Amino acid sequence: MNTQDQDKVPIRRLPTGVPGLDEILGGGLPEYSFNVIAGAPGSGKTTLAHQIMFAQATPERPALYFTVLGEPTFKMLRYQQQFTFFDQSRVNTSVRFVNLSKQALEGDLDVVLAEIVSEVDKANPGLVFVDSFRTVVRTTKPGLGDFDLQGFIQRLAMHLTNWQATTFLIGEYVEEELRDNPVFTVTDGLLWLSQQVERNSIVRKLRIVKLRGQASLPGMHTIRITEDGLQVFPRSFGSMEHAPHLDNPRRLSTGIAKFDELLHGGIPEGDSLLIAGPSGAGKSLVGTFFIAEGLRLGEPGIVAIFEESPAQYVRRAARFGLDFATPQRDGMLELTYLRPLDLSVDETVHDIVSTVKRIGAKRVVIDSLAGFEMALAPSFRADFRESLYRMIAALTRLGVTIISTAEVVEEFTSMALSNFTISFLAEDIVRMRYVSINGQLRRMILVVKMRGSSHSIDLHEYQITDDGIVIGEPLRGYRGLTSGIPGPWNNEESLVLQVPVETPRTR
């Protein structure tokens, strides 16, 4: 610490009580700051304010909540007490409500200010809320200019700061006002709530437009309002955490011995492996065996499924002799079924990351990316690729090894790696595809890339049997295998393929 650092006044950061918000704020709300919570009607401003209030208020430093001409107080209390954070026993002790409608209707800002100052003087609050501050301004007498308004806000800010209160003005504002509204000039912090409607889905978001004195996390962050109040899903997904550095990562067996051989020993720990292929190629099955092998070795796993229910997934695994019900019961396996159709990537990742931390998962399967995309609200699909990048980064940062499956539309002229152009976010890529040989539609698997390590470059035929995926010998003597319609390498060579004879499972 240098001398300059030692001389700095420490600014205490107050926890907001809103999951995820403190991370976005850079550690919490600066004490004694003067803030605005802005947004459109229904965006969650009042709920956010109440949540912060109940998190921070104490009998010694209570919160004063001034209501003006917005939602009637009784109705506000009626609705807010439905949230779990609303502790009725703290009303009128730690949390006090004061109605200013009479003073506001007089249209004189000085009267409003005098009342606020008087109440603040009596209560010695640590937190002050004015809801809705917009209505205070709207009730002012005609002729009041920006200069008068700015003067009022400055006096209000000065009084409340001098009284050592952290203040929140709550109001309905539109984005266009951001540039020249005098309220925003004076405030230290500006929290902007919005909701976006697209087709049948509604997505709520929060943005820290401004926060003096500390570095907040930029961008729009998804929020969800549940019975517990607001929850914020930071876009960083906990990006402050450092990825574990593995000098010589071990290889994780996929549970399919021959596949491990193609990968030259398995998937490097901490890698993200993408399996791309058409419907029915067996992509999900590879993921299932990967998880099963982990469970066998005592490594907890997570499967994020989007296209079938957990019960169906467990039943399907059982058909291959894999018991997923027991590890599910024992907390070793979590099947996360995500299909509400208005999810954000941030929420999905939050769910998965929380589960990884909770059960200490080492292996994660995302089955499938197409299902994941479909589960998202339409407004998030546009950013799917970028979101996916952040998600994979967040998960690999935790040290887990990921298999994602991606369905591709099979073309018989070329071999796409996925429909999402997302192969850049996978260290390792495996492609499964159909090939037409001797009047039969057969299956072929190849390792396309493994970042930083060697792998087989052979194209192998495989079959899906009752025992799972059975990988055969490399396909020799063909050209154009990757197109799906191979021809003979030369006319003399036979086109007849050998059916795999090995049963190389390690189970």
Q: Which residues bind other proteins (CB under 8 A)?
A: 67, 72-75, 77-78, 81, 88-89, 91-92, 97-102
Strands 468-474, 229-233: pairing kind: unpaired
Q: What residue type is 255 in one-letter code?
A: G
Angle at 310 between CA 355 and CA 386, to 5 degrees: 55
Nearer to other proteins, 68 or 375 (CB): 68
Closest approach, Cβ 158 to other proteins, in A, equals 25
Closest approach, Cβ 128 to other proteins, in A, equals 15
The region that residue 478 occupies, defined by phi over 0 for left and psi between -120 and 50 for alpha, beta otherwise, is: beta
The DSSP result for 262-330, as a single string, is: HTTSSEETT-EEEEEE-TTSSHHHHHHHHHHHHHHTT--EEEEESSS-HHHHHHHHHTTT---HHHHHT
Nearer to other proteins, 88 or 494 (CB): 88
Closest approach, Cβ 88 to other proteins, in A, equals 5
Crossing angle for the helix pair 283-296 and 310-318, nearest 10 degrees? Answer: 80
Nearer to other proteins, 65 or 372 (CB): 65
Nearer to other proteins, 65 or 290 (CB): 65
Distance CA 14, CA 30 (A): 6
Question: For the purposes of burial, counting CB atoms within 10 Å of the CB of 445, is it exposed (0-12), middle (13-18) or buried (19 or more)?
Answer: buried
Distance CA 449, CA 35 (A): 51
Closest approach, Cβ 69 to other proteins, in A, equals 9
Closest approach, Cβ 103 to other proteins, in A, equals 10
Nearer to other proteins, 97 or 337 (CB): 97
Closest approach, Cβ 135 to other proteins, in A, equals 12
**How many residues are present in the chain?**
507
Closest approach, Cβ 72 to other proteins, in A, equals 6
Closest approach, Cβ 162 to other proteins, in A, equals 24
Q: What residue type is 420 in one-letter code?
A: F
Nearer to other proteins, 130 or 444 (CB): 130
Nearer to other proteins, 72 or 340 (CB): 72
Q: What is the rounded (10 degree) CA torsion for 256, 257, 262, 266?
A: 80
Contacts (Cβ under 8 Å, ≥6 apart) of 151: none
Q: CB atoms < 10 A from the CB of 6, how many?
A: 7
**Scanning the structure block, which residue is given the tokens 């800010």?**
157
Closest approach, Cβ 114 to other proteins, in A, equals 15
Closest approach, Cβ 95 to other proteins, in A, equals 11
Nearer to other proteins, 102 or 358 (CB): 102
Provide the CA 133 distance to its chain's centre, in angstroms.
Answer: 32
The secondary structure of residue 430, as a DSSP letter, is E
Contacts (Cβ under 8 Å, ≥6 apart) of 268: 249, 250, 251, 252, 401, 427, 428, 450, 452, 453
Nearer to other proteins, 127 or 415 (CB): 127
Closest approach, Cβ 67 to other proteins, in A, equals 8
Main-chain dihedrals φ then ψ at residue 224, nearest 5 degrees: -135, 140
Nearer to other proteins, 74 or 147 (CB): 74
Nearer to other proteins, 92 or 465 (CB): 92
